[in-house]
Structure 1
Amino acid sequence: MAKVLIEIDDGVLMGALAESQDQQLILDKYVEQVLRRAQAEETGTPLAPVDLGNVIETACQKAQALTQGERFHLTDLIGEELWQTIDTGERRAMGKTFRARMEQSEPKIADHIGRTSANLAIYKRA
């Protein structure tokens, strides 16, 4: 992944910071998401739709394969790149569904044990 140093208007930066906080993203991930969407609009290539049910099912299977006591985030299971392509509202819904699957399955797959500073849920394999 490349690192970029740019000059940006203070007002634009403040707006981007506020929006990234609203979406619970670190600034570089928010900027990457905005650039991806702008690029898709400019080229006329829509972002590929994501089958959230399939993503959750795959993540659950990967979580089951982890060793007992191992800590993880949903993004560890599905990958940061895919996570960034999912709309913020869909991320929240997917996170709630994933958490329910982790804690309500028999036997329980994992426990929700907290959140990171970026507000990502932390799980511990049961």
Structure 2
Amino acid sequence: MTEPTGAHTLSDALSDALAATGRARTGIPQGKRWTVIVDLEAGSGVTRAVARLHDRVSDRLVGTGQARLAPPDADVPGVADELAAAQALADLARVMQQMAHNEVEGATDVGGHLTTPG
């Protein structure tokens, strides 16, 4: 993967990486593609994020997160966005794991645990 160039924030680095990935995908045979879109909204010291997983059919899986600026905290531009987005993505991952667990349990009629590395 191409290293982001000129990135000053995590958002800049992500934009650079996505652009590089898009260029690298030209000509690759089409398979499954899932896209996560994170919407951010800030106001009154709170930043809220909603992460939606889109496939070619729907955007039914959603994760949420928020970041709040505490009174002694310095307002560093972009940090609240990054924290809220990270929480929303972590919540989306939890939702996806629970959905997979439910589908396996329903398909096998056997209770159990899905394990993930780490």
Task: Give the shorter-chain TM-score range.
Answer: under 0.3
Q: TM-score, normalised by structure 2?
A: 0.27
Structure with the higher fraction of residues in strand conformation: 2
Q: TM-score, normalised by structure 1?
A: 0.26
* Larger RCO (CA within 8 A; separation ≥ 6): 1
Select the structure of larger CA radius of gyration. 2
